[in-house]
Amino acid sequence: MEQVAQLSMLLDRYHALCQYCDDLFQRTVQTYRSQIQCAKGCVECCLLETVVPLEASVIAAYLQSTPAIRGQLCLSDQQQDSYCVFLNNQVCLIYPVRPIICRTHGLPIRYSEHEGIDVCPLNFNNDDLTEIEEEFVLDADVITTNLLRLNLAFCLLTATAETAGERVSLQSLMTNLSKNSTMTSVIPLNS
């Protein structure tokens, strides 16, 4: 029972990290609305192919608990080019549980290995990026470090430590759901 409690606490921390990213995104959009093109229907950043095991399990639990999406997944299976397999008619089928990276696309981002700020090429076209207030710039290293720590803890708790450094294909998640009427997920559905 302790493992379930620890998993629940870990998921709470993961959801808090997701909420932090969502809140920052909303504040940034409110402040820089004229410079941000992100909106429902824009799929320029929907190119994700893999996620860490923690996020894969969260997505699998969501898909298992929402059978209405199954019919839409069949349509999404015919995606063109390299767009995400969970994109259907320019709508994200897993939006409530989208990965961290999806929650941060469009934000001004700072990476320690790069000088300056990185932004979506569709955003901030008329502004000097150095004028973006620091509170609206996402520190990619902080987010990535927290996600990887949570993922490692998840893999240790689920006795899959060897997978902590691996990535899970979103295509495989969708294929497994299509093949099986029920999916196995280590995330309790009541989380």
Rg for the chain (alpha carbons), in Å? 17
Q: Whole-model pTM above 0.85?
A: yes
pLDDT value, residue 79: 52
Across the range 95-112, mean pLDDT stands at: 95
Across the range 69-75, mean pLDDT stands at: 67
Q: H/E element holding 104?
A: helix 100-104
CA distance 111 to 138: 9
Across the range 17-46, mean pLDDT stands at: 94
Confidence of residue 190 (pLDDT cuts 50, 70, 90): very low
pLDDT value, residue 80: 56
Confidence of residue 83 (pLDDT cuts 50, 70, 90): confident
Confidence of residue 9 (pLDDT cuts 50, 70, 90): very high
Domain ranges of the chain: 2-179
Task: For 92, list phi and psi in degrees, rounded to 5.
Answer: -80, 120
By the 8 A CB rule, do 95 and 104 touch?
A: no
Cα-Cα-Cα-Cα torsion 24, 82, 14, 6, nearest 10 degrees, comes to: 180
